[in-house]
């Protein structure tokens, strides 16, 4: 699993084009429909989704495997005046003190589960963390996106104080996409270079649905992200909604 160590310092700058307000509203609407108030977020990153949900009055517990990402999320929470609970935790080993109304994960958290068994571990842990009829919401970058759009390609960005090169390879046997990040971060008059490697798995819709059902969930829907339309083979991001039964 990628854990975004050093890269936490530049992550927000390089994700500045993401409309987190709209993303949080989309998730909030699903939670509101189910009247979910006590929510656990897995792979919360720097808190862009979870803190917005906390601002709306939800009782948020935000977890991530990266302490560096949680530190940045905590700094943001203080500035925003919200007080979610933060916990450093592997989503495959999610553990809560009392059952939640919902477990959520956004922005590829589940793609970092690099094997079908890892995915099953997360689904089993989420099931145990939820109360009866509790909601599980998560998205994935689709197999089409990781294989056909990202895999085999190199991307670059030049920001004011940082630049990165993102080289990607995709293996069609393992369904793994290896992302090699080279970051140049300004330090005074010079730039400091560092590298990280992240691996995501291109989970198919069918296997994701099957493993949800094996864990005891009832599938509510697999949607084109940010809509309630059914996903299809051209979908780049897929939003899943499932209920513990």
pLDDT of residue 7: 63
**What pLDDT, on the 0 to 100 scale, is given for residue 56?**
97
**pLDDT band at residue 189 under the 50/70/90 scheme:** confident
> 224, 220, 223, 200: which is closest to 212 by C-alpha?
220
| pLDDT tens digit sequence for 20-32 | 999 999 999 999 9
pLDDT at 9 over 70: no
Average pLDDT over residues 1-19: 68
Q: What angle do CA 119, 121, 125 make, to 5 degrees?
A: 120
**Residue bearing tokens 């530190």:** 71
Give the model's pLDDT for residue 8.
65
**pLDDT score recorded for residue 187:** 86
pLDDT value at residue 201? 98
pLDDT at 162 (0 to 100): 83
**What confidence score (pLDDT) does residue 116 get?**
96
pLDDT, averaged across the chain: 94
C-beta of residue 140 within 8 angstroms of C-beta of residue 237: yes
Over residues 52-65, the mean pLDDT reads 98
**Residues with Cβ within 8 Å of residue 190, at least 6 apart in sequence:** none
Check pLDDT > 80 for residue 10: no
Residue 211 pLDDT greater than 70, yes or no:
yes
Question: What pLDDT score was predicted for residue 160?
Answer: 79
Q: How much is the pLDDT for 51?
A: 98
Instruction: Tell me the pLDDT band of 157, cut-offs 50, 70 and 90.
Output: confident
**156 HSE (CA, 13 A, CB side):** 4
Of 28-37, 65-74, 179-188, 219-228, which gets the smallest average pLDDT? Answer: 179-188
Query: What pLDDT does residue 13 have?
Result: 72
Instruction: Of 137, 134, 139, give the one whose Cα is nearest residue 35.
Output: 134
Average pLDDT over residues 156-170: 89
Mean of pLDDT values over 200-219: 98
């Amino acid at each position: 699993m990628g854990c975004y160590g050093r890269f936490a310092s530049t992550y927000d700058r390089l994700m500045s084009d993401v409309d987190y307000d709209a993303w949080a509203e989309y998730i909030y609407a699903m939670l509101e429909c189910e009247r979910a108030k006590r929510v656990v977020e897995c792979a919360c990153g720097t808190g862009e989704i979870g803190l917005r949900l906390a601002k709306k009055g939800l009782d948020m517990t935000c977890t991530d495997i990266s302490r560096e990402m949680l530190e940045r999320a905590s700094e943001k929470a203080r500035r925003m005046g919200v007080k979610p609970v933060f916990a450093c935790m592997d989503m495959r080993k999610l553990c809560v003190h009392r059952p939640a109304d919902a477990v959520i994960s956004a922005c590829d958290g589940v793609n970092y589960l690099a094997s079908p068994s890892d995915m099953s571990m997360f689904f089993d842990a989420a099931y145990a963390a939820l109360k009866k009829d509790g909601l599980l919401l998560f998205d994935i970058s689709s197999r089409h996106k990781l294989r056909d759009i990202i895999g085999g390609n190199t991307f670059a960005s030049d920001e004011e104080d940082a630049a990165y090169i993102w080289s990607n390879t995709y293996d069609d046997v393992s369904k793994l996409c290896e992302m090699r990040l080279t970051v140049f971060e300004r330090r005074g008059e010079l730039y400091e270079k560092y590298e990280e490697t992240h691996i995501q798995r291109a989970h198919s819709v069918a296997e994701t649905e099957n493993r949800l059902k094996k864990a005891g969930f009832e599938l509510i829907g697999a949607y084109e992200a940010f809509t309630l339309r059914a996903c299809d083979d051209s979908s780049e991001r897929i939003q899943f909604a499932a209920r513990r039964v």
